A = this chain, B = another copy of it.
Amino acid sequence: MADESAVELLADAKSLIRAGEWGKVVALVASLHPADLVDLSLDLEESERRELLDRLPTDIVGEMFGFVEDDELRELIRSVGVEDLPAVLEEVDDNVAVDVIQQLEPDEREETLAALDREEVADLMQFREESAGGLMSRGFVALNEGITVQQAIDYLRVLRPPADRAYYLYIVDNEKRLQGTVSIRDLLVSAPRTTLGEITQRDIHAVNTQTDQEEAARTLQRYNLLAVPVVDDEGRLEGVMAAEDLIDVLQEEATEDMYRMAGLDEEEALGAPFRRSIRLRLPWLLVNVFAAFAGAIVVGLFHSTVEKAVVLAAFMPVVANQSGVTGYQTSTIVVRALALGEIRGNAQRVLAREMLIGLANGIVVGLLLATIGLVVTGNETLAGILLVSMTLASVVATLVGQLVPLALRALGADPALASSIFVTMATDAMSFLFLLGTASLVIGRLD
């Protein structure tokens, strides 16, 4: 969120826009940070936003594109208008331009690329959107290790690379293969005649152009880097991913996992259009109808048992709910551990451990349930049924909670994908089976 003075400025700008005082708006807006300007423009009505973006200089609109989240990007593009896009994209970094163009329809893409005429942008478009290649920029500084510190400094003074790109210099050999990095700090504190080779940090943490962006982001986090170099299969330096972009990746991936677990599409943000939200959520709700019927079918099988002891109907949701939560706890841990790269060779140990936890917790919860059941109904048989079925359901819930994400991953799907729906389907059905099944065995003693 913007700080207080920015919030005030935003309010001022908004009233000026409403009043149509565009001269003042443009002057005021020039003093805003692009990130704040993005917020302001997204707060406006569509027509106001169009007018604002139309009146702003293209370099300011370009800067805004560098500070917009992926889910807001489309809205901004629409307001700028595809025909005005090339002029704006002339002003932005190559990887930002790629990001923007990837949001367009195929025919608009070609037009924009043709009008833009920036070779490195067209060139970056070959990479998959969610790969390191799709996120990297060509705007890095690569030097040979033979040159001296003074020569490197002179070169940078001529080149004047953008400030946010110039923390590491990349040392490459004559075939452009990455040999290591030199931080600007080391350049600054070294004697002018030192060669770069003498101060090169050769512990390389590069990723391949094909590497998934999530893994690239984990490399950044793991080794505390400020940028991650991207190389091709021969180790040639192809580009660099900035920390700012990889941080966004980490946040997007976390949102994606949370959303997917709940059966939501990651493209749905809070402000998404109404019809889009319906379209994105309804499919999972319909899947859930059929998933929920798994439980209904089990209940249907034990129709006569329920008829003989309707009290079971009241305990059905308790056992189901309880094992649902247990299964969801386990699947949350597994999904997050997979996302953070924490599950390595230890899957079996984890499996056994979770089931033991399920057993222990199941017994405690089962005893509590049995006690409540006994107090409320005075029926000892019911108490026994509750203890047995709750314990069984709890153990199976931890098993299901693990198997669902692991199975999804084994099938090549996202482990988080609608986990909650699949887990609940299984825990519901199992809970009813254990509760009503146990009850049917001793039904004579239940009435």
Q: How far is the CA of A424 from the CA of B297 in the complex (A)?
A: 22
Q: How far is the CA of A356 from the CA of B276 in the complex (A)?
A: 13
- B250 near A224 with CB under 8 A, answer no
CB under 8 Å from chain B, chain A span 223-278 = 223-226, 243-244, 247-248, 250-251, 254-255, 257-259, 261-264, 268-271, 274, 277-278
How many Å from the CB of A435 to the closest CB on chain B?
11
- B274 near A353 with CB under 8 A, answer yes
Given the interface pairs A33-B223, A277-B357, A293-B372, the reply to whether A424 lies near B157 with Cβ below 8 Å is no
How many Å from the CB of A311 to the closest CB on chain B?
8
| Given A167-B167, A264-B332, A285-B365, 15 new contacts (CB under 8 A) | A33-B203, A184-B185, A250-B254, A255-B336, A257-B258, A277-B353, A278-B361, A282-B361, A284-B329, A292-B322, A303-B310, A306-B313, A317-B317, A317-B432, A321-B428
Q: How far is the CA of A269 from the CA of B314 in the complex (A)?
A: 35
Q: Which residue of B lies closest to A160 (CB)?
A: B189
7 A-B pairs with the lowest CB-CB distances in the bound complex, closest first: A254-B254, A224-B244, A262-B332, A292-B321, A166-B185, A295-B317, A292-B318
- A185 near B167 with CB under 8 A, answer yes
Q: Which of A45-53, A121-129, A337-345, A439-447 contacts B (4 or more CB under 8 A)?
A: A337-345
How many Å from the CB of A186 to the closest CB on chain B?
6
Q: Is A222 located at the chain interface by the 8 A CB criterion?
A: yes
Q: How far is the CA of A24 from the CA of B291 in the complex (A)?
A: 56
Given the interface pairs A222-B35, A329-B281, A432-B317, the reply to whether A322 lies near B274 with Cβ below 8 Å is no
Given the interface pairs A296-B315, A340-B255, A424-B325, the reply to whether A365 lies near B188 with Cβ below 8 Å is no
**Neighbour of A1 across the interface among B33, B285, B344, CB < 8 A:** B344
In the complex, what residues of B have CB within 8 A of residue A222's CB? 1-2, 35, 67
Given the interface pairs A318-B289, A322-B285, the reply to whether A270 lies near B337 with Cβ below 8 Å is yes
Q: Which residue of B lies closest to A162 (CB)?
A: B185
How many Å from the CB of A132 to the closest CB on chain B?
13
Q: Is A20 located at the chain interface by the 8 A CB criterion?
A: no
- A342 near B33 with CB under 8 A, answer no
Q: Which of A54-62, A74-82, A104-112, A213-221 contacts B (4 or more CB under 8 A)?
A: A213-221
- A296 near B314 with CB under 8 A, answer yes
Q: How far is the CA of A270 from the CA of B325 in the complex (A)?
A: 17
Q: Is A385 located at the chain interface by the 8 A CB criterion?
A: no
**Neighbour of A341 across the interface among B1, B33, B316, B346, CB < 8 A:** B1
**Neighbour of A251 across the interface among B221, B372, B432, CB < 8 A:** B221
How many Å from the CB of A320 to the closest CB on chain B?
6
Q: Is A378 located at the chain interface by the 8 A CB criterion?
A: no
5 contacts between A and B (CB under 8 A): A271-B342, A278-B357, A285-B325, A300-B314, A306-B310
In the complex, what residues of B have CB within 8 A of residue A343's CB? 270
CB under 8 Å from chain B, chain A span 122-176 = 153, 156-157, 160-161, 163-164, 166-167
In the complex, what residues of B have CB within 8 A of residue A293's CB? 318, 372
Given the interface pairs A251-B340, A278-B361, A296-B315, the reply to whether A218 lies near B329 with Cβ below 8 Å is no
Q: Is A384 located at the chain interface by the 8 A CB criterion?
A: no
In the complex, what residues of B have CB within 8 A of residue A356's CB? 274
Q: Is A114 located at the chain interface by the 8 A CB criterion?
A: no
Given the interface pairs A295-B318, A296-B315, A361-B281, the reply to whether A247 lies near B262 with Cβ below 8 Å is no
- B188 near A336 with CB under 8 A, answer no
- A342 near B296 with CB under 8 A, answer no
Q: Is A30 located at the chain interface by the 8 A CB criterion?
A: no
Q: How far is the CA of A299 from the CA of B315 in the complex (A)?
A: 9
Given the interface pairs A35-B223, A188-B188, A285-B365, the reply to whether A263 lies near B317 with Cβ below 8 Å is no
CB under 8 Å from chain B, chain A span 183-219 = 183-189, 203, 205, 215, 218
Q: Is A44 located at the chain interface by the 8 A CB criterion?
A: no
How many Å from the CB of A72 to the closest CB on chain B?
10
- A428 near B332 with CB under 8 A, answer no
